[in-house]
Amino acid sequence: DARVTQTPRDKVTEMGQEVTMRCQPILGHNTVFWYRQTMMQGLELLAYFRNRAPLDDSGMPKDRFSAEMPDATLATLKIQPSEPRDSAVYFCASGGFDGELFFGEGSRLTVL
Amino acid sequence: DQQVKQNSPSLSVQEGRISILNCDYTNSMFDYFLWYKKYPAEGPTFLISISSIKDKNEDGRFTVFLNKSAKHLSLHIVPSQPGDSAVYFCAASFQGGSEKLVFGKGTKLTVNP
């Protein structure tokens, strides 16, 4: 049963700390997306990759967020330093050529 | 600037009745539209999609209608069941879905027994 795996599921940290979220996309999928869900904005796109190359990261605050795909089985989203306004649920999704995205269960981040 | 808008944050219907969820978009270049369903503490899951060359797509109890001239789509669920209670996200994409999905803010559907 292929699925997108995200870690951690829950993270509580203090302001100023570094946070790294990890995602294992579905094997064979060539696109990987990071979305953030907040009450105010719904699901907003932070960054996405195709064949491991970054295509669009315009949704990310560049000064503190970074997204990478070290290899085809791992995508990371890093926040340094974290701030309370970063508190949200972060979703990773992967997709093939048919346009359907498969989402992970999300990483709930709370920054105190 | 929301390119995909779901103006109703919530909707409540009785079991067995029809649920209609609405979505509007502003970019006429979108050519592929999808609906995702999300339960609490889970990621969104794909429900149904429609290409801009069609005006209707049906899958069991779920039907999506697309009105390109009005830049409007809707999801009909009939009959509604309590298990359909979830947040429904409308999404739009370019190039047949091979590009990024732009999501609306979601509509929380509650189906009452």
pLDDT, tens digit, for every residue of B20-49? 999 999 999 999 999 999 999 899 999 999
Secondary structure (H, E, C), A36-101: EEECCCEEEEEEEEECCEEEECCCCCCCCEEEEEEECCEEEEEECCCCHHHCEEEEEEEECCCCCE
pLDDT-derived band of residue A38, with 50, 70 and 90 as boundaries?
Answer: confident
Chain B's closest residue to A90, CA to CA, is B43
Contact status of B46 with chain A (Cβ, < 8 Å): yes
Share the mean pLDDT of chain A: 92
Mutation site for A-interface testing, chosen from B10, B93, B98, B107 by largest number of A Cβ within 10 Å? B98
Chain B's closest residue to A102, CA to CA, is B45
Closest-CA distance of chain B to residue A80, Å: 25
